[in-house]
Amino acid sequence: MSPARSAGLQARPPDFSVPEFRASLGMFATGVTIVTARTDSGALLGLTANSFNSVSLSPPLVLWSLSRLAGSLAAFSNGRHYAINVLAADQQMLAERFAARDTDRWAGVGFTEGVNGAPVLDGAAASFECFNRSQYAEGDHVIFVGEVERCTHRSGASPLLFHGGRFYTEHPL
């Protein structure tokens, strides 16, 4: 629906609690990514995200979202490039590390410099190097739309999955 058609329309108030909403969202199995970038000063940024999705094949667009409360929001908002690294099944510990607070996320992590400087993680199942095309503030998150400038994938790699608040290295039955 176009913004013009939805202008003036409002949704009914939710008839569920935040925990009920979170539990329902948890029923959607997702892949797990680590979004990486460099600040203007060259510092490494990275965080675990499962809010990743394809948007368009032509032009090649993907999206992900970040909490408005995230300490890295300003750096990602102001940066021109980032990489989305789709984690392989054997990278669960990496996902947990990049989701944790107050830890050196980058200690001992192998990566290569992407085409525009964003770190591309070694061993990832796939990577998407993106130009920070647009951003949309919605609710308590900012949605980032990236124009993919380069992508790679590792043939035969199994993805790390997240479902119901747990990681899986095989599809949950």
CATH code for the domain in which residue 68 is found = 2.30.110.10
Q: Flag whether pLDDT at 64 surpasses 50.
A: yes
Q: List pLDDT tens digits, range 140-164.
A: 999 999 999 999 999 999 999 999 9
Structural domain includes residue 51? yes
Structural domain includes residue 173? no
The burial of 32, by beta-carbon neighbours within 10 Å (0-12 exposed, 13-18 middle, 19 or more buried), is given as buried
Q: List pLDDT tens digits, range 11-53.
A: 999 899 999 998 998 888 899 999 999 999 999 999 999 999 9
Residue 148 is part of which domain span?
A: 17-163
* Dihedral over Cα of 15, 18, 23, 24: its sign: positive
| Residue 95 pLDDT class (50, 70, 90 cuts) | very high
- Residue 74: phi and psi, rounded to 5, are -60, -40
Structural domain includes residue 1? no
